[in-house]
């Protein structure tokens, strides 16, 4: 590769790394996936919903239970509009979408085994997924919902909100605020998987695995943005579903 070509490649990578993190492009990529998931859940009329989704649903229910469904679509519409306006202002960014999906897939293929290796190094084991008896397509649909709602709750809202509070209100420097927020969100993410009717048994190896995974997802959110971490989570869960289906 010539020096000129190398310079062009470096500039492209730097621009992509910066633009892929933009919130407007992330929303434009995430909201259609969220809307598709919501429509699919309405069509199949599933009684099972993701726990993170139910947490956020309860917040809307407190406002007005009769308007719950309407509130959900209003919020998605506002998010989609916000993302669309941002991308229209910077149209070239939409061309980054397929690269963001590819990046998310690579992370899904790499980080899953990496988490397993790290947990194994401290003498623990990676928790397996227990079959629920649900059809394979239903498990995959719920995996899509988990990737969306868990990232919105634990990374976008909890991690992002904590960074703002700790940095602006508590006056911690940004690096410290980010580190604390990643740790808190990772612990919350791990504990969340052990509560409720469908929670896993609270065992050390399971909690450790989720904490390490939550930490890596937090770092990924902070460095690569919302769209990458949402699609990475979705791809990882779907790959796990496929592996279980073939085993």
What pLDDT does residue 89 have?
72
Biggest alpha carbon–alpha carbon distance for the chain? 64
Pick the more confident residue, 198 or 208.
Answer: 208
- Give me the mean pLDDT over the 83-102 stretch: 77
Domain residue extents for the chain: 3-246
Pairwise CA distance, residues 103 & 101, whole Å = 5
Residue 131: pLDDT above 50? no
Confidence of residue 127 (pLDDT cuts 50, 70, 90): low
Residue partners of 167: CB distance under 8 A and separation at least 6 = 173, 174, 177
Pick the more confident residue, 135 or 30.
Answer: 30
pLDDT > 70: what percent of the chain?
A: 81
Q: What is the mean pLDDT of the chain?
A: 82
pLDDT tens per residue, range 206-242 = 888 889 999 999 999 999 999 999 999 999 989 888 8
Q: Which two tokens stand for residue 84?
A: 């669309």
What pLDDT does residue 214 have?
94
Confidence of residue 120 (pLDDT cuts 50, 70, 90): low
What are the CA-CA distances from residue 90 to residues 1, 87, 94, 102 (Å)? Answer: 30, 5, 8, 21
pLDDT tens per residue, range 94-118 = 777 889 999 999 999 988 778 777 6
Q: Can you spell out the DSSP letters for 35-101?
A: HHHHHHHHHHT-S---HHHHHHHHHHHHH-GGGHHHHHHHHHHHHHHHHHHHHHHTGGGGGGHHHHH
Residue 70: pLDDT above 50? yes
- Give me the mean pLDDT over the 60-79 stretch: 69
What are the start-end ranges of the H helices in the chain?
Answer: 3-19, 23-44, 51-63, 68-89, 97-121, 136-150, 160-164, 174-192, 204-224, 226-246
pLDDT tens per residue, range 3-54 = 777 777 788 788 888 888 888 888 888 888 888 888 888 888 777 777 777 7
Confidence of residue 79 (pLDDT cuts 50, 70, 90): confident
What pLDDT does residue 45 have?
79
What pLDDT does residue 76 have?
74
């Amino acid at each position: 590769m010539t020096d000129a070509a190398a310079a062009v490649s470096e500039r492209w990578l730097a621009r992509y790394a910066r633009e892929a993190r933009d919130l407007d492009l992330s929303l434009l990529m995430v909201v259609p996936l969220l809307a598709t998931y919501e429509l699919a859940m309405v069509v199949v009329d599933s009684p099972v919903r993701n726990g993170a989704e139910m947490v956020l649903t309860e917040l809307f229910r407190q406002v007005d239970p009769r308007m719950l469904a309407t509130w959900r679509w209003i919020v998605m519409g506002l998010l989609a509009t916000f993302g669309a306006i941002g991308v229209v202002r910077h149209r070239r960014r939409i061309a980054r979408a397929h690269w963001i999906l590819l990046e998310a897939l690579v992370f899904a293929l790499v980080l899953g085994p990496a988490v397993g290796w790290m947990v194994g190094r401290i003498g623990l084991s990676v928790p397996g997924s227990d079959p629920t008896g649900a059809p394979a397509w239903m498990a995959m649909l719920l995996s899509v919902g988990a990737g969306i709602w868990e990232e919105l709750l634990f990374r976008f809202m909890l991690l992002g909100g904590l960074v703002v509070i700790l940095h602006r209100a508590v006056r911690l420097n940004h690096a410290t605020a980010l580190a604390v927020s990643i740790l808190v969100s990772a612990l919350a993410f791990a504990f969340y998987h052990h509560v409720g009717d469908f929670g896993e048994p609270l065992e050390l190896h399971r909690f450790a695995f989720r904490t390490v995974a939550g930490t890596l997802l937090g770092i990924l959110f902070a460095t690569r943005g919302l769209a990458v971490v949402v699609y990475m989570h979705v791809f990882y869960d779907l790959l796990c579903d496929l592996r279980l289906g073939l085993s």
